[in-house]
Amino acid sequence: MAPSLGAPLFSGADADLYAVGADRVLRRSRSGADTVGTAEVMRHVRAAGFPAPRVDAATDGDLTMELLRGPTLLQSILGGRTSLAGSARILVALHDALHAVPPPAPDEPAYEALTAPSFATLDAPGAGAPCVLHLDLHPANVVLTADGPAVLHWTNARLGPAGLDLAVTAVVLAEVAADEDDELAPGARVLLDAFLHLADPVLLRHLDAAARTRAADPGLDPSEVALVPAAVALVAREARRS
């Protein structure tokens, strides 16, 4: 039986995060979804040197991992500690580092998780082998630790073309920028422009797949899904100017 815990530190769209001692957290899926595959992906990228949390255990919808100390990149932006241009550099550098991680071999535990059926539209990678994609890499999922930026929330990770991962990040940023009622929209527009200026323009080939991936993401509510078409149009328009 899963342990009884106190009030969550944080509640997301599909899971709650609890403190477990002084230096660990437990991510509990409210649907009871299997976390073993996610844990194997995190172990794979971490073993290759990518900054993902250390996983201690995964079972019955619970994922126990190290507590990453530091603000999220989003919190640091809002607090004025990290510039929008600097944030774009961090996001692009994390993408580059992740896409350089060698994919697992078919007989490795992470391979099954990265090739499992997904809501994501994993379009053809074109030339070269597919790479590990995060498919939710944005400022709220990056923690600025004392050792550097680290990435959370690996539930969506799959194998596919690097351009799709970049395109999903661009669309996420554009969803905020396109929302006229969001006070963060002006800053998100600046961050999007900086990201597009630095990112590989191959992402434009994957905008349609990124749009379908975002619209099908079960973690989005209907109001967020409704922003996707305007976000994709904004990315296409701003990319032509970058």
Dihedral over Cα of 184, 190, 193, 197: its sign: negative
pLDDT tens profile 13-37: 778 888 888 899 988 887 767 799 9
Predicted pLDDT at 1 = 42
pLDDT tens profile 84-127: 999 999 999 999 999 999 999 999 999 999 999 989 988 766 65
Higher pLDDT, 81 or 61: 81
CATH class of the 10-66 domain in this structure: alpha beta
pLDDT-derived band at 128, boundaries 50, 70, 90 = low
CATH of segment(s) 73-241: 3.90.1200
pLDDT-derived band at 230, boundaries 50, 70, 90 = very high
Which segments of the chain belong to CATH 3.90.1200?
73-241
Percent of the chain with pLDDT over 90: 77
Q: How many Cα atoms are found within 13 Å in the side-chain-facing hemisphere of 46?
A: 17
